[in-house]
Chain A
């Protein structure tokens, strides 16, 4: 099937064959070299150091809230012990009612996000309707699993998927491992190098049916706690005005908080940490 993008009816044949409405499926059949997973088996042995020194994306947090879900990530990418980027974006709009964020090898993650975006849009255009939220989550699982071979060689990337379920009217979170998934997470979740700290922080700050603004604040607090204890996670960079990427997915659709708004939340957190460096204190004994 070579040469099917260079004109003639061979090309028309490939495009016009009736098939399942999946973009990755089309590429896998007609142009597998365009898929991120095409790296499988092509990597020579002994590239470990090289791979270790690729920029890695770090901490992502997600929390369900009233009418939707919040998905946020810090801005740091690290290559070994070097900070390779201070303003990297790891949270991406997937479609009107969902978003994905990545942890792991940043470049592969970027390609994942782009491919997944096209995948969802492609289905929508072909079929005239959006995939169900489970459908989207399952599709992402397949893409993660296709990347298993490169992941075993060090090029691992893990997404965290969050979306608003139009059928049930709630925000939902799905996590993955290198072999696929999806695992539905309830209430909140975190992935990446700082996830241990972020999750512990969220555990103390989270409450069911939080208003969205509270959930955003809880996520920014959690990212601050992750940055506090994990060297690969970046905190709010006040001098350079680089703040966490915060997105909300509600019944109004996907929204990335504009920088000034994200700055307000970060400011609030930083100011409160001036007084109490370890952040808000949870009550030792639960009431009643």
Chain B
């Protein structure tokens, strides 16, 4: 390198880069319900997954750059399989996987010129709801334990805030899916929050469009199942659940107001095509030096 650049500057640049790239994507959520853990991601592809199985009771969900989180997913599957084969299937835990991801992402963030543009969630379903675990790992290797629910990728702050209002313990699957969809479709928090960036409207506006079964990737870790608990919900089963949850939320919204910002949609599509113009980090995970948890 021809010029001296301070380590602070390098780290800040890397973090800003990763954060702004991640904020351009779409948010995903993972949340607990009575029967297990539900994960929802807006994803038009049926073949390129954002949510996958890692092990018997553990799932992986990611937002950001596909090739990067796909490499991490495969590495996680291998890590889990080697551990489970060497010891016992019960000895593969979400905590160990989250730590492994944190080490790996932290190493990549420090050592390579370009950090990974990913945010990862590792969720494990326990025998009882109290044993459920959800970990979120950000691009710099920060890891946080998220009780109950987590939003990640894209405009995670706003989605998490919206999800917090709707989340409560012991939800049914239908309720949880309803809460997740409402949170994902939450309108951009205009003027509120930690910062104002041009990327804010781009990421979130895109989600304000109606999410239907064809554009959703939904999977659960089913507490009641033996052996492998991961199940994808798709096709007729998903349509049915969506219809149920819409009916339920329409009934509850009849008394309250019905937030349906359909007018945002055309502008959002235009905005989605163009990346954020400024180098200023858009609203996203608040700070790399912090714990990486959105503070709703």
Contacts and interface: CB of A to CB of B under 8 A. Distances in A.
B103 A7 contact: yes
B258 to A, nearest CB: 37
Contact of A5 (B72, B81, B82): B82
B39 interface: no
Contact of B81 (A8, A18, A122, A128): A122
Contact of B82 (A7, A16, A21, A27): A27
Interface residues of B, number: 24
Given A15-B75, A16-B72, A125-B54, A31 B82 contact: yes
Contact of B77 (A12, A114, A115, A125): A125
Interface string B68-83: 0001101111110110
Interface string A52-66: 000000000000000
B74 A126 contact: yes
B114 to A, nearest CB: 15
Contacts of A45: none
B62 to A, nearest CB: 14
B79 A34 contact: no
Interface stretch (B45-53, B163-171, B185-193): B45-53
Interface string A14-52: 011010010100110001001000000000000000000
B103 A34 contact: no
Contacts of B76: 15
A118 B85 contact: yes
A206 B243 CA distance: 50
Contacts of A121: 81, 228
Given A15-B75, A125-B52, A9 B81 contact: no
Nearest to A114: B85
B84 interface: yes
Contacts of B54: 125
A18 B71 contact: yes
Interface of A: 5, 7-9, 11-12, 15-16, 18, 21, 23, 26-27, 31, 34, 114-115, 118, 121-122, 125-126, 128
8 contacts: A7-B103, A8-B103, A9-B103, A9-B111, A12-B75, A15-B75, A26-B78, A34-B82
